[in-house]
Structure 1
Amino acid sequence: MTARILVVDDIPANVKLLEARLLAEYFDVLTAQDGFKALEIALATHVDIILLDVMMPGMNGFEVCERLKADQRTAHIPVVMVTALDQPADRVRGLKAGADDFLTKPVNDLQLVSRVKSLVRLKMLGDELRLRAETARTIGMEEPLRLDAMEGPGQVLLVDSRASSQERIVKALKPVAEVTAMSDPQAALFEAAEDPIDMVIINGTGDDYDPLRLCAQLRLLERTRFLPLLLVTDLGDEDAIVRALDLGVNDYIVRPIDPNELVARTLTQIKRKRYNDRLRTNVRQTIELAVTDGLTGLNNRRYLDNQLKVMFTRAAARSRALSLCMIDIDRFKQVNDTYGHDVGDEVLREFARRVRSTVRGADLACRYGGEEFVVVMPDTDAITAAAIAERLRATIENAPFVLERSGLRLSITASLGIATNLQGIETPEQLLKQADRALYAAKTGGRNRVVAAAA
């Protein structure tokens, strides 16, 4: 794993020291001697992590961090403050400014490398989600998301076998989160997988369980793989911290716990989790919209073009029948001309509903364009396809289209053409063309009928 790290410090010796440590791990290192230069580099260059000194002239590290997090172009870059300040109040101030962690000078090499690698992994995940979600924003589907957006209290699962420790953590988080405290790690694992949890806090000194094993189990399960994990550990237990970060733990806090620091770290993790959840939702919706017709809810032509190739190739390889039915609403232009396009849209939606209710589960129903629809029927010969098409034709004709928005009752019919791959057809394009010819024959032959392509 490699990444580009920006080191910001006004003391050249400190910069050289961090640079040498990071270069030894094959990271690409950029440097800046003040906050203004750091902001300039972060905006102009791809940066994965920023190691930021706090005490600098002109603009201190807290101010630099606040500016980075306020700008949507740089808000996603993890910031680690490297400082001689080691008081809880300093950490809380940095966390509230948006910092992801603190490293106290002199910096422990093992902790430095482990923390950087951990944050790089998390950033790469976030970058992938943001890149995919960018498609939605490009076509105007979604407004840009903000990392600081958080609605409602967080849902936190606390795994701690000590009652006194549970009580202190629950009390500290009460203003910002609803905490479920559990002593049994296996029960907690089940709880995290089944319930909507925003974050898991794990006591790193469990008396009767291995906390790092629980962290590993949470990272293995599909439902909990992306849950933020915060480890509560003892001062000086550096080996446990390094191992936890390698396992994918997002953050840690050292005893004695400062309540304000715990709240700040918890809020940071919950906000980031909800931000990533919304990114994943946007990505999923973008994919769905890319293959779905927005008016009817059926798959669109793009999806048909891709899937028909797959289904045709599979049928040919297995020497199985594949039939295709092309459907056209009769005299649909008259509906639009007489009643308007809003009524036409209602007819299309009801037509699609009847198509869905008639075809089988294995069939692929798509809106081909305008008032044309296509149903692809795997493992279906010409006789069976004709029977299905006739059932669909009757379903459309036998009951009037009752349009709730306009209050109209319209009699609608459809013409259908079918073709089968066992009729000397060698490509999916030929199958579509044969079905289209059969549909044309149905239209010219009087409409409201099913015509099969000639063998």
Structure 2
Amino acid sequence: MSARILVVDDQAANVRLLEARLQAEYFEVCTATNGADAIAVAKAEQPDLILLDVMMPVMDGYDTCSRIKDDPATRHIPVVMVTALDQREDRIRGLEAGADDFLTKPIDDVSMFARIRSLLRLKEVLDELRYRESSSALAGISGDVQDDIDAPARVVVVSADPRATCRFAAALPSKAEILETHDPAEAIIAARNDADLLIVDLTSPGYDGLRLCARIRSDAATRQLPILAVVRPADVQQAVRALDLGVNDIIQRPVDAGELAARSRTQLRRKRYADQLRSHLDEGMEMAVTDALTGLHNRRYISSRLRQAMDSASNGGAPVSLLLADIDHFKHINDTYGHDAGDRVLRDFSSRLQTGLRALDLAARYGGEEFVVVMPGAGLAEARIAAERLRSSIDGSGFDLSDGTSVPVTVSIGIAQAHRGEALDALLRRADEALYAAKTAGRNQVQAADNAAA
């Protein structure tokens, strides 16, 4: 996995050393020698990860990290603080400033590259979500990251040591719903139940914690769940293997409550950001295929699905029929009662339309007061029955406006069954001709394309 890494250190020798070690692993490297330059380079170059020295003059690493994380243009870039300081207060201060991890000098290459690869994998997922969201109908909506560290969260804590689970749970945010368990199977079930964070004690002799992490990562339902693993301080191999398996973060025993709380908040904050992006993406995709007024599918979506059904029918599959419905004298409704009343009629019409459909039928607003229903597996006779049922339901009772006025509404419908090898435009044209015939014959009726042609 290659990536561009920004190295920030005021000591030229340290920069050269890190640069050489990273380039030997085929990473691209850009550099900065102070906090202000680091912020400017991060914004201009958009590196995939930042290795940030803590002890720098004028603007130290904590302040630099805070500014990088406060800027929407750079907050998504993982920051690993590199420091000779190894006190709990320093680690907690860095995590609270937004750092994603720490490396303590002298830096062990194995640990460094394991952490780098882990953070780059996470960033790759977020970058893909950010790209898709920026290309969706709701582009730009995710500019602000939800950052309520005390927001409710579901955390699963698993350890063979009951005293350890109690200590871990006590360090978590006050509003967190915590499930303490000593059984990996129970932890997997809990993780699938909308958990926000899994804390796994890899030092427990009662079960294989790495296997539990692997199970969580291999399950589609829990693949995106953040995992914070507790490891032995001298077991570098275990920590590296955990990170390679997809563990998001590690903390060493003896576990400091403040550091555990800070690392947990970091993971929860990142998950909320990813959840936001996925939610916005889902909304954007929904908007792209949905008519905003009626909630039905839109013209683009229904055309695509109709083409698929026609292709299937042409290749020996089930038949497909099309209903084209148009509300009679809709302009008169708008002119007489107002456009708000017209919108209400469109919404209520859509509701009645959906009520009378089969589960596999697809309805869409095709434009204005015109609606389309695609009926997979239905021949012309079945389509006529469905169309007549719809016409009757519309004519059977008026449409109530907000002031209590009841407006009589009728609908004209044209139907057509797709011929083998027929083009989409040709089918729509035949259905439209049938609809025109229904209008010409006096409205409030159903006409079939074959009959209209005859």
TM-score by length of 2: 0.96
CA–CA distance in 2 between the matches of 1:151 and 1:315?
55
Match of 2:133 in 1: 133
Match of 1:115 in 2: 115
Measured on the aligned residues, the alpha-carbon RMSD in Å equals 1.6
In the superposition, relative to structure 1, how do residues 338 and 151 fare at CA in structure 2: closer, same or farther (>3 Å)? farther
In the superposition, relative to structure 1, how do residues 305 and 203 fare at CA in structure 2: closer, same or farther (>3 Å)? same
CA contact (8 A) 2:171 2:257 kept: yes
Q: CA deviation at 1:175?
A: 3.4
Q: CA deviation at 1:384?
A: 1.6
1:428 to 424, 428, 436: 424
Q: SS where residue 72 of structure 1 aligns?
A: coil
AA in 2 matched with 1:233: V
CA–CA distance in 1 between the matches of 2:10 and 2:218?
42
Q: Does 1:233 align with 2:231?
A: yes
Q: Does 1:44 align with 2:50?
A: no
Match of 1:71 in 2: 71
CA deviation vs aligned residue, 1:263-304 (integer Å, no higher than 9, x gap): 111111111111211211111111011100111111000101
Instruction: Report 1:321-360 matches (<5 A).
Output: 321-360=319-358
Q: CA deviation at 1:328?
A: 0.1
Q: SS where residue 77 of structure 1 aligns?
A: coil
CA contact (8 A) 1:325 1:418 kept: yes
Q: CA deviation at 1:402?
A: 2.6
CA deviation vs aligned residue, 1:314-361 (integer Å, no higher than 9, x gap): 111125422111000000111110111111111001100111011211
AA in 2 matched with 1:145: D
Q: CA deviation at 1:306?
A: 1.5
Q: CA deviation at 1:139?
A: 5.8
Q: Does 1:444 align with 2:435?
A: no
CA–CA distance in 1 between the matches of 2:378 and 2:335?
38
CA contact (8 A) 2:153 2:175 kept: yes
Instruction: Report 1:3-402 matches (<5 A).
Output: 3-135=3-135, 142=141, 144-150=143-149, 152-173=151-172, 175=174, 177-194=176-193, 196-318=194-316, 320-402=318-400
Q: CA deviation at 1:153?
A: 3.3
AA in 1 matched with 2:131: L
CA contact (8 A) 2:156 2:179 kept: yes
Q: SS where residue 205 of structure 1 aligns?
A: coil
Q: SS where residue 362 of structure 1 aligns?
A: coil
Q: CA deviation at 1:368?
A: 0.1
CA–CA distance in 1 between the matches of 2:19 and 2:146?
29
CA deviation vs aligned residue, 1:378-404 (integer Å, no higher than 9, x gap): 12211221121111111111122233x
Deviates more, 1:234-243 or 1:161-170: 161-170
CA–CA distance in 2 between the matches of 1:139 and 1:187?
40
CA deviation vs aligned residue, 1:18-66 (integer Å, no higher than 9, x gap): 1122112211111111111111111111211000011112211111101
CA contact (8 A) 1:199 1:229 kept: yes
Q: SS where residue 171 of structure 2 aligns?
A: helix
AA in 1 matched with 2:110: L
CA contact (8 A) 1:150 1:274 kept: no
CA contact (8 A) 1:158 1:181 kept: yes
CA–CA distance in 2 between the matches of 1:72 and 1:452?
57
AA in 2 matched with 1:43: K
In the superposition, relative to structure 1, how do residues 139 and 197 fare at CA in structure 2: closer, same or farther (>3 Å)? closer
Match of 1:409 in 2: 406
Q: SS where residue 74 of structure 1 aligns?
A: coil
Q: CA deviation at 1:138?
A: 5.4
CA–CA distance in 1 between the matches of 2:69 and 2:404?
53
Gaps of 5+ in 1: none
Deviates more, 1:148-157 or 1:266-275: 148-157
CA–CA distance in 2 between the matches of 1:178 and 1:300?
41
Q: CA deviation at 1:255?
A: 1.1
Q: CA deviation at 1:134?
A: 2.2
CA contact (8 A) 1:137 1:143 kept: no
CA–CA distance in 2 between the matches of 1:337 and 1:22?
71
CA–CA distance in 2 between the matches of 1:202 and 1:230?
6
AA in 1 matched with 2:263: R
CA contact (8 A) 1:176 1:263 kept: no
CA–CA distance in 2 between the matches of 1:176 and 1:390?
56
Q: SS where residue 223 of structure 1 aligns?
A: coil
Matched residues, percent identical?
Answer: 51
In the superposition, relative to structure 1, how do residues 379 and 177 fare at CA in structure 2: closer, same or farther (>3 Å)? closer
Q: SS where residue 57 of structure 2 aligns?
A: coil
Q: SS where residue 352 of structure 2 aligns?
A: helix
CA–CA distance in 1 between the matches of 2:375 and 2:153?
47
Q: SS where residue 69 of structure 2 aligns?
A: helix
Q: CA deviation at 1:244?
A: 0.5
AA in 1 matched with 2:62: F
Q: CA deviation at 1:136?
A: 5.3
